[in-house]
Amino acid sequence: MDVVAERSEVERILEDPAYVVPEADAASNGPGDRFRASASRFVNGATHAARRHRLDVLLAGIDVDELSLDAAARTRAMLPAAIDEIAAQVPVACLAARLGFADPDAAPAWVAALAAHYPTGGPSSSADAAATRLIAAADDVRGGLDGDLDGDAELRVQLLVQAHAATAGLIAAAVRLPAARDGGVPTADLLAAVLRDALPVRQTKRLAPDGEVLVLRLDGADHGSPHDPRTLAFGAGPRACPAVRHAIAIATAVVDEVRAC
């Protein structure tokens, strides 16, 4: 497995459709693996483009101001809990509420179980139970969003799974920066520092046209433009994170509340 670290080369590969993602097994039977095969993350070509479009529609239906207010309220309700607990609970719960899930407060624990299985797949009774539970909770409630939610249960679960560790990592790292104790430093600067120096998602994988698996470092050096470094914290190209605004809105609200406490 080759590792590519030079940032401009990683960006070039991420933007090149000839480099694809390793695909999930579409014939798998377990609910956890079936969920993986229904997500956008492990399919290529036209199937990826269609699912990605639906994700963009679902995300566009979320009012980011409401999301942010909900994240702040949920954080206040949990304080003075430990930051890792807040970071694991609030982002997923506030997204689940906006995405029309039944019982949004219960979603984070199930999402954590499913997220542990998500990168690799394979037999897992805890992932199977979590996938079954979350898809039922997504199917249970209609409304709350613009547009037709039918058939989107798996994609709405995917949004929670993708949000889970990355958003929690950003929040916890920002709160732990020494500068977070200085009230004069804006929360936006703390988040930017984490996204520049301590990325929550450090690497991803692609298959090269010759079938070789490449590990792509998102936190590598950028020797081409030292004065204006690109950031690959949210990826690049057609599979870049579609939820940057949502991630930043949630993280800003949570970190603001924790710092004010």
For residue 205, list its beta bridge partners.
215
The yes or no reply on residue 124 touching ligand HEM (CB under 6 A) is no
Q: Select the span of 68-76, 128-136, 181-189, 235-243 touching ligand HEM (CB under 6 A).
A: 235-243
Q: Among residues 41 and 117, whose Cβ is nearest to ligand HEM?
A: 41
> Taking Cα atoms as reference points, which of 13, 6, 3 lies closest to residue 240?
13
Rounded to the nearest 5 percent, the helix, strand and coil shares of the chain are 60, 5, 35
Out of 36, 74, 133, 246, the residue judged to bind ligand HEM by CB under 6 A = 246
Between CA 89 and CA 49 the distance in angstroms is 30
Question: Does 118 participate in binding ligand HEM (rule CB under 6 A)?
Answer: no
Q: Does residue number 201 form part of the binding site for ligand HEM (CB under 6 A)? A: yes
Which of the residues 17 through 46 are near ligand HEM (CB under 6 A)? 40-41
Nearer to ligand HEM, 141 or 201 (CB): 201
Residue among 1 and 183 whose Cβ is closer to ligand HEM: 1
Is there binding between residue 88 and ligand HEM (CB under 6 A)?
no
Minimum CB distance to ligand HEM smaller for 55 or for 145? 55
Q: Which of 38, 167, 187, 252 binds ligand HEM (CB under 6 A)?
A: 167
- Say how far apart CA 241 and CA 224 lie, in whole Å: 23
Of 38, 89, 162, 187, which lies in the binding site for ligand HEM, with binding defined by CB under 6 A? 162
- The residue behind tokens 């990168």 is 119
95 scored as a contact of ligand HEM (CB under 6 A): yes
Asked if 122 and 133 touch (Cβ cutoff 8 Å), the reply is: no
Rounded to 10 degrees, the C-alpha dihedral 118/121/122/127 comes to 20
The reply on whether position 52 binds ligand HEM by CB under 6 A is yes
Q: From CA 180, how far away is CA 183, in angstroms rounded?
A: 7
In sequence order, the 6+-apart residues with CB closer than 8 A to the CB of 223 are 6, 8
The answer to whether residue 247 forms part of the interface with ligand HEM (CB under 6 A) is: yes
For residue 143, the number of C-alpha atoms closer than 13 Å in the C-beta half-sphere is 1
- Dihedral (CA of 147, 150, 151, 153) sign: positive
CB of 125 vs ligand HEM, minimal distance in Å? 25
Interface region with ligand HEM, contact rule CB under 6 A, candidates 81-89, 140-148, 162-170, 182-190: 162-170
Assess 188 for contact with ligand HEM (CB under 6 A).
no
In the set 200, 254, 255, 257, which binds ligand HEM (CB under 6 A)? 200
CA distance 232 to 10: 9
Binding residues for ligand HEM, rule: CB under 6 A, are: 14, 40-41, 52, 55, 95, 158-159, 162-163, 166-167, 170, 200-201, 204, 218, 233-235, 239-243, 246-247
